[in-house]
Amino acid sequence: MKKKYKRKIIVNPRLQLGWAFFVAMLQLPGIVITGFIMSWFYLIYLDENLNASCNTSALVVLAVACLMLILGAVVFIVRRTTSVAGPLKKLQILISEMARGRAPENRIAFRKGDWFSELENDLNAISQSMNRDHRVRIHTRQALERFKADLENGKDIQGEAYLQTLDQLIKGL
């Protein structure tokens, strides 16, 4: 049975919540201007035309609608930035691991619909190259350690096999 994976909504809080705050702040001038227009409309324009006092419930409804609009925008931005924040977080982890010389053994894959998914093939090529180079280094180290041990033990190192081994090691590098 395939394991069900629950997708995280907030992957990189600094990025996602930062953008959500930015969008919410972009809405504030529009809300303030709308409030001023509504106040002007009710208090100045309709003041002489109304027989009763100003209807304050319309301003409360407008304030609630504005708060709902801001909340909806924040939720939308957080959900939408998940497809960017997830791959960025994964890239950050992969690059920091690769900088330490540790490449992942298995294939790197991004989720369907994520941004930067076109980097998948390039990252896999880099990972395979690093793993191949790591295997060559291990093989070279082992051969050189055997060569050193033979020298320390006083073995005859003039043979053709040693020269071929050294040539293979040099070509492998």
Q: Is residue 2 part of a domain?
A: no
Looking at residue 111, what DSSP letter applies?
P
Q: What is the pLDDT along the chain (173 residues), one digit of tens a residue?
A: 566 656 677 888 888 888 889 988 888 888 888 878 877 777 766 666 555 555 667 777 878 888 898 899 889 988 888 888 888 888 888 888 888 888 888 888 887 777 777 888 888 888 888 888 888 888 888 877 877 777 677 676 666 666 677 777 777 66
Q: Is residue 6 part of a domain?
A: no
Contact 110, 117 (CB under 8 A): yes
Q: How many domains does the chain have?
A: 2
Contact 15, 87 (CB under 8 A): no
Q: Which residue range forms the structural domain that includes residue 143?
A: 104-173
Same domain, 85 and 20: yes
Same domain, 115 and 90: no
